[in-house]
């Protein structure tokens, strides 16, 4: 019995285990064995095996050829085991997984992804029309040839459409299931029926589907809510309505406060939705019952609004900002990212800039209709101004400071894509968004000794408490404070 134990122990001491290693999206094999100088020397001699300083072990590529060569290397000298190589990988969640009281299914299903058809204003000899552009598709081309509202314009070599809501609604119906319409921001939509149809074209509409009430959108427009708020309220009310689609719109209009609270309480219990999402949903639904239906008894005061977490903004160092700004050779992209940092702009404020908003003689940048519909002026860096002049000579924008590839206003998603690509190319590991450059602008100004009130004005903050959050992330004067541990 003792002999068997010693034999087993001796055998395991001479066993080389091959374990799976994933690094950089590729599969490798790492070697594990009990300390044995003989095995280590054999692995050092193998040209297909390398020692990893990162993982502190010998590794090789995960290929049948290298595995076979490893078997040959130790044949008659040691045992090679692959029992852990093909074991299913145990999945580990990135974050803590909550045990939920229940789930709330998403009531709005999306249609499959389809091509995009772009509508933009076009000045022709016949007057202002709407151009129809798309990445070539035989199906879309044939559908447009049969269209009752669109026709081919020989001079412009594209399909065109008469301006106005009814023709666009008709085109939307003709392309249903084949393509989605996208309107450039130069086309100011005043037709709420068209606006609603454009916003809801991405949802599957079954027999019980409830569209957003038109009087809801009319009320929001009449009270001069911002376009972003109107669209957010529209999507949140639409979600609420279709979560109870079996009740019908008339049944929903008679909902009690407790029934509405139950909907939002379920959202809180799932732990899926953010603080902002749930609170915006409460406000959107409350607006419908109080301001549209005039049911002022619906106060929604009993719903458990989640407490807002007090998180500090992410701030990049000056070195990280410099790396990101240098990561692109495209002059337009560099100017947009420099604007976010040099002037502390929001991403929406960048795309809304017009050529006339760059007031070089006064060294200021005019921001029109910022958050809260407020105008303000902010800094215009001289280095940025030089780049903007070079950009203007090369790209020659017509009205907007930054225009898209097909003309018209640049999009928010395009700036986000540019920023993500630059962060990856620069090798910056900090999780950042374009808004992080705005946070970095404010923090770096504070570290330079700029008064907090001036920073508040440059950022367009209504409340000084919003600006004071940057005092919690600044490194200003912290290097002069000595920890009590250092004095022990």
pLDDT per position as a tens digit, 199-224: 999 999 989 999 999 999 999 999 99
User: Same CATH fold, 205-309 and 2-81?
Assistant: no
CATH code reported for the domain at 110-192: 3.30.780
Catalytic residue (choose from 234, 333, 346, 439): 346
CATH code reported for the domain at 205-309: 1.10.150
Residues 110 and 60: their CA atoms lie apart, in Å, by 45
231 is catalytic: no
Which regions of the chain are under pLDDT 70?
1-13, 87-104, 302-306, 406-407, 475-483, 485, 488
Residue given tokens 């074991």 in the structure block: 87
Residues 266 and 416: their CA atoms lie apart, in Å, by 32
Closest by CA to 102, choosing from 265, 239, 295, is 265
Closest by CA to 312, choosing from 469, 431, 200, 204, is 469
pLDDT tens profile 57-91? 999 999 888 998 999 899 888 899 887 777 655 55
Closest by CA to 240, choosing from 282, 206, 193, 185, is 282
Residues 276 and 412: their CA atoms lie apart, in Å, by 20
Catalytic residue (choose from 69, 205, 291, 371): 371
CATH fit for domain 2-81, picks 3.30.780, 2.30.29, 3.30.70, 3.30.160: 3.30.780
Residues 13 and 11: their CA atoms lie apart, in Å, by 5
Torsion of CA 431, 433, 439, 445, to 10 degrees: 90
Provide the token pair at 166.
């009814």
461 is catalytic: yes
CATH fit for domain 318-472, picks 3.40.190.290, 3.40.109.10, 1.10.443.10, 3.10.20.30: 1.10.443.10
- Those residues whose C-beta lies under 8 Å from the C-beta of residue 392, and which sit 6 or more positions away, are 355
Q: What is the pTM of this model?
A: 0.69
Catalytic residue (choose from 234, 239, 438, 439): 438
Catalytic residue (choose from 50, 295, 376, 435): 435
Q: Are 66 and 85 in contact (CB under 8 A)?
A: no
- Those residues whose C-beta lies under 8 Å from the C-beta of residue 304, and which sit 6 or more positions away, are 264, 265, 268
Residue ranges per structural domain of the chain: 2-81, 110-192, 205-309, 318-472
389 is catalytic: no
């Amino acid at each position: 019995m003792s002999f068997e134990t010693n034999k087993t122990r001796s055998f395991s001491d001479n066993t080389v285990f091959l374990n799976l290693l994933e690094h950089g999206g590729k599969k490798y094999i790492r070697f594990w064995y009990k300390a044995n100088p003989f095995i280590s020397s054999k692995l050092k001699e193998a040209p297909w095996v390398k020692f990893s300083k990162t993982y502190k072990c010998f590794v090789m590529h995960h290929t049948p050829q290298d595995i076979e060569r490893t078997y040959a290397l130790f044949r008659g000298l040691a045992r090679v085991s692959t029992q852990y190589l093909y074991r299913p990988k145990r999945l580990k969640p990135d974050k803590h997984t909550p045990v939920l009281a229940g789930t709330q299914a998403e009531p709005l299903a999306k249609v499959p992804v389809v091509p995009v058809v772009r509508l933009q204003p076009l000045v022709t000899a016949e007057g202002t029309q709407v151009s129809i552009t798309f990445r070539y598709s035989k199906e879309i081309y044939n559908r447009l040839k049969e269209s009752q509202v669109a026709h081919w314009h020989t001079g412009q070599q594209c399909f065109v459409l008469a301006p106005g809501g009814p023709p666009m609604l008709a085109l939307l119906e003709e392309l249903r299931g084949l393509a989605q319409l996208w309107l450039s921001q130069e086309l100011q939509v005043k037709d709420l029926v068209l606006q609603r149809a454009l916003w809801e074209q991405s949802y599957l509409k079954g027999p019980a589907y409830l569209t957003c009430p038109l009087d809801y959108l009319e009320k929001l427009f009449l009270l001069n809510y911002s376009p972003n708020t109107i669209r957010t309220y529209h999507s949140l009310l639409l979600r609420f309505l279709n979560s109870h689609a079996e009740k019908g719109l008339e049944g929903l209009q008679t909902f009690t406060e407790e029934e509405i609270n139950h909907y939002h309480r379920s959202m809180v219990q799932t732990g899926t939705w953010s603080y902002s999402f749930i609170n915006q949903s409460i406000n959107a639904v409350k607006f419908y019952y109080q301001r549209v239906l005039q049911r002022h008894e619906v106060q929604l005061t009993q719903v458990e609004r989640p407490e807002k977490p007090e998180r500090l903004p992410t701030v990049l160092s000056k070195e990280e900002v410099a790396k990101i700004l240098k990561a692109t050779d495209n002059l337009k992209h560099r100017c947009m990212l420099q604007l976010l940092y040099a002037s502390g702009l929001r991403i929406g404020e960048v795309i809304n800039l017009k050529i006339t908003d760059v007031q070089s003689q006064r060294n200021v940048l005019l921001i029109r209709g910022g958050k809260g519909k407020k105008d303000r002026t902010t800094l215009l860096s001289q280095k940025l101004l030089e780049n903007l002049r070079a950009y203007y000579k090369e790209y020659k924008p017509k009205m907007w400071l930054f225009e898209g590839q097909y003309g018209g206003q640049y999009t928010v998603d395009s700036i986000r894509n540019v920023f993500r690509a630059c962060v990856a190319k620069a090798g910056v590991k900090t999780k950042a968004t374009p808004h992080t450059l705005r946070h970095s602008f404010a923090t770096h100004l504070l570290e330079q000794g700029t008064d907090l009130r001036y920073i508040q004005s440059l950022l367009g903050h209504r409340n000084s408490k919003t600006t004071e959050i940057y005092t919690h992330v600044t490194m200003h004067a912290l290097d002069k404070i000595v920890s009590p541990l250092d004095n022990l």
